Amino acid sequence: MKRFFDTELETFRSNLVLMGEIAVRQVRQAIEAMVNADLSLAEQVAAADDELDQLEIKIDEEAIRYMSLRSPVATELRLVIVGMKASHDLERVGDEATNIVRRVARLSSEPPLKSYEDLPRMAAMAVEMLRDALDCFLRVDAEKALAVCQRDKDVDEINRALYQELTGYMIENPKTTNRALELMFISKSVERIADHASNIAEEMIYLANGEDVRHTEATRNPDAS
């Protein structure tokens, strides 16, 4: 039986999907701006952050309205709760993209410290996690979502390796300290983006089967699931 307010949930879903698309675009463009030292693109990324902020507020408003007036239960309840949480994660992804482009602007005044290989690779992994987590929202796929969570440690490893490498630059040549630190922070931002993708994937598992897998071994270790 279709209810007169079913379209409200459709709008809610659409807004979350839109937020996800914007967040993915922001991260891709931020890394592109870094690799190409494209300050114009960097500015574009920073300016677009407001879109995500406004969508987060809108999703919260819609969720509160729906909970107050429609008393959702079961799948609908989980959708509204998960939608609110995922929108906060996506807003934070946007913030991290903005952090990256701010550092790109600072890096642009000096020659590149090293060729950008690991960071774009790591960012591509984080973006893929984000895309897959959002795909799990559309398909309500808990199995795929769990696999997203388990990929987070790969991004963490690259971040750790980059930290070691950049620390080496600073020890060897203190003049590289500023650039190395900026790159460390960019690496940390990418690592945080992967964390948010992992959070969203955990939320999608809850949406799919009501199971709360946060802080469990299953999200870290494929053998435990």
Partner 1 sequence: MDPAIRISPESVAPADEALARQDASLIDVAGLEFHYGKIKALDGVTMKIPEKQVTALIGPSGCGKSTLLRCFNRMNDLIENAHLTGGRVKIHGVDIYGSDVDVMELRKRVGMVFQKTNPFPNSVYENITFGLQLQGVKDKTKLDEVVERSLRAAALWGEVKDRLHESGLSLSGGQQQRLCIARAIAVEPEIILMDEPCSALDPVATARVEELIHQLKKKYTIVIVTHNMQQAARCSDRTAFLYLGKLIEYADTRTMFIKPSDSQTEAYVSGRFG
By CB under 8 A, residue 68 contacts partner 1: no
Which window, 24-32, 38-46, 65-73, 182-190, contacts partner 1 (CB under 8 A)?
A: 65-73
Q: Whole-angstrom Cα distance, residue 222 to residue 180?
A: 34
Report DSSP letters for 49-99, one per residue. Answer: HHHHHHHHHHHHHHHHHHHHHH---HHHHHHHHHHHHHHHHHHHHHHHHHH
Residue 73 interacting with partner 1 (CB under 8 A) = yes
Q: Which one of 4, 10, 40, 74 is in contact with partner 1 (CB under 8 A)? A: 74
Nearest distance from C-beta of residue 177 to partner 1, angstroms = 52
Give the nearest distance from C-beta 213 to partner 1 in angstroms. Answer: 14
Gap between the Cα atoms of 211 and 225, Å rounded: 12
Residues 157 to 216 in contact with partner 1, rule: CB under 8 A: 209-210
In angstroms, give the least distance from the CB of 211 to partner 1.
Answer: 8
Nearest to partner 1 of 136, 190 (CB atom): 136
Q: Considering only 17-25, 74-82, 149-157, 173-181, which stretch makes contact with partner 1 by CB under 8 A?
A: 74-82
Residue 72 interacting with partner 1 (CB under 8 A): yes
Count of C-beta atoms within a 10 Å radius of residue 212: 10
What are phi and psi for residue 116, nearest 5 degrees?
A: -85, 100
Interface stretch with partner 1, choices 68-76, 123-131, 173-181, 187-195 (CB under 8 A): 68-76
- CA dist 2 and 184 (Å) reads 52
Which own/partner contact pairs does 60-66 have at CB distance under 8 Å and 24+ positions apart? 60/84, 60/87, 62/8, 62/11, 62/12, 62/15, 63/12, 65/8, 66/8, 66/9, 66/12
What is the CA 124 to chain-centroid distance, rounded? 12
Of 37, 77, 124, 147, the residue at the interface with partner 1 (CB under 8 A) is 77
Does 13 bind partner 1 (CB under 8 A)? Our answer is no
Angstrom distance (rounded) from CA 43 to CA 225: 42
Residue 36 C-beta: closest distance to partner 1, Å: 47
Is residue 3 at the binding interface for partner 1, with CB under 8 A as the rule?
Answer: yes
Residues contacting residue 112 through CB under 8 Å, at least 6 positions apart = 37, 179
Residues 7, 14, 54, 75: which binds partner 1 (CB under 8 A)?
75
Contacting residues toward partner 1, per CB under 8 A: 1, 3, 71-78, 209-210
